[in-house]
Amino acid sequence: MDQALQKSIGVIQGRQAAEITASVEAAIRDGELSPGDLLPTVRALASALRVSPTTVSSAYRELRGRGLLVTEGRRGTRVSPAPPVMAPAAAPLPAGTLDLASGNPDPALLPRLGPFLAKLDPEPHLYAEQVHLPELIELAEARLRADGVPYPAVSVVSGALDGIERVLLAHLRPGDRVAVEDPGFGGVYHLLRAMGHPVEPIALDDDGALPDALERAIARGARAVVLTPRAQNPTGAAFTPDRVTELQTILDRHPEILIIEDDHNAEASGAAAATLCRDSTPRFAVVRSVSKTLGPDLRLAILAGDRETIARVEGRQLLGSRWVSHLLQHLVVRLWKDRGVTRLVARAEKTYTARREALLAALADRGLPAHGRSGMNVWVPVVEETTAVQQLLARGYAVRAGESYRLLSSPALRLTTAALPTEEAPRVAEALAAAGAAPLTHGT
């Protein structure tokens, strides 16, 4: 038995399924088991603990259902890449390191909230009142209408991932398969695994999800699809009109599919708005967060969708958090109505575009393909991720390994260019070339 399995067996204890489950969770929380660690087979652990295989199988099933473990065929049962337990904060970056890893917008291009908070003095809100501010909904509808996004019903949720989770809960059950982009946002992957939804990868190019890949995912049993119309994370892909038509043609043949669009960058995307949804689409939701334009601490997103989906989301919301803070809603109203903030968001979009394109041009000058049609990130294929990340850090650049963004696609790095000075782009490209950036061989 190899050392990895010996390690996992050594920290798992218990005679009953609940005790084994608690033991594994505690080991993950305390760092004794790490994301990706291999766990013993059911029979091996049952033998080590002197319990029945049925007991271990029950514990593993519970842990998989809660997103702590994943089973990957011949790769065995492993700790989830992002288990839903509290984890220690990441180590601070070395002094002088340029952070191209975090995915954050540039703080200098976000509105200062102090002046708006100082003027914020709404009447106290009580239980049984309207949960959404009518003025916020009206402003949201005007923005959706201007972008050609349908809005039979509109709601407010606590950020993009909160909206995605609530829509999935409204229609799906654990075990239902969900089609996702590959490469795609790791947060969506982890959320789906934690909810018990097997993922079906959809390959993409710079125009977004590939029609044939979407068709295959549906044929494999996907009941929902989560797509990004622009500023796709991590590749920056953005729908073109032709791609929208191609994908709509497929989805029109499968009206039972729940469509979720994550337009998380919205006005800061650097690409025109696009959507696969129409007023007649049976089940859909478009979620638009304000995090990239107004600030990540504003946990608020607009959710537009068909009436049944929004009614289900709001009904479930009323049983828990009930509503998104009216203070946040009032604050977003003031920010959206302020001309200075509108100009700042427009300037942010232009700045993000210039910074992203500067890095793409510097990479192209060195014969290195990369992806970044829109958004705040550039996706750079590499020969080997871990080595490249370490070499770049040694040169003063923190980047994100692509592993958590990939299912079947090829190795790559994600670089967030939101705060990358344009004059620094050639030096970053030179460092990438030295660290093993390579032409794309297959996938995206």
Q: What is the pLDDT of residues 242-257, one digit of tens each?
A: 999 999 999 999 999 9
All structural domains of the chain, each given as residue ranges with its CATH number in brackets, are 3-79 (1.10.10.10), 98-107+341-435 (3.90.1150.10), 113-337 (3.40.640.10)
Q: Which long-range contacts (CB under 8 A, 24 or more apart) does 401-404 make?
A: 402/183, 402/234, 403/81, 404/81, 404/82, 404/186, 404/189
pLDDT value at 444 more than 60:
no
Return the top range by mean pLDDT from 23-37, 76-90, 305-319.
305-319
Mean pLDDT within 142-159: 97
Asked if residue 200 has pLDDT above 80, the reply is: yes
Residue type, 403: E
Q: Which of 314, 322, 318 is nearest to 167 (CA)?
A: 314
pLDDT at 3: 61
pLDDT of the residue at 5 = 64
pLDDT at 285 over 80: yes
Q: Once rounded to an integer, what is the mean pLDDT over residues 123-135? A: 82
- Asked whether the beta carbons of 151 and 304 are under 8 A apart, the reply is yes
pLDDT, position 439: 57
pLDDT band at residue 2, thresholds of 50, 70 and 90?
A: low
Confidence of residue 34 (pLDDT cuts 50, 70, 90): confident
Distances (CA, A) of 233 to 101, 188, 197, 201, 338: 12, 10, 20, 15, 29
Which residues on neighbouring strands pair with residue 180, listed in sequence order? Answer: 201, 226
- Contact present, 417 and 100 (Cβ < 8 Å): yes
Q: Residue 442 — pLDDT band, cuts 50, 70, 90?
A: very low
Residue 71 has pLDDT above 90, yes or no: no
Q: Percent of the chain beyond pLDDT 70?
A: 95
What's the chain's Rg over C-alpha atoms?
23
| Amino acid of residue 350 | K
CB 314 within 8 A of CB 307: no
Average pLDDT, the chain: 92
Give 204-227 as a 3 state SS string: EECCEECHHHHHHHHHCCEEEEEE
Q: Where are the alpha helices (DSSP H) in 100-205?
A: 114-118, 134-146, 160-171, 186-194
Q: Which of 66-70, 113-117, 428-432 has the lowest mean pLDDT?
A: 66-70
Residue 421 has pLDDT above 50, yes or no: yes
Q: Mean of the pLDDT values across residues 430-437?
A: 91
Residue 440 is predicted with a pLDDT of: 47
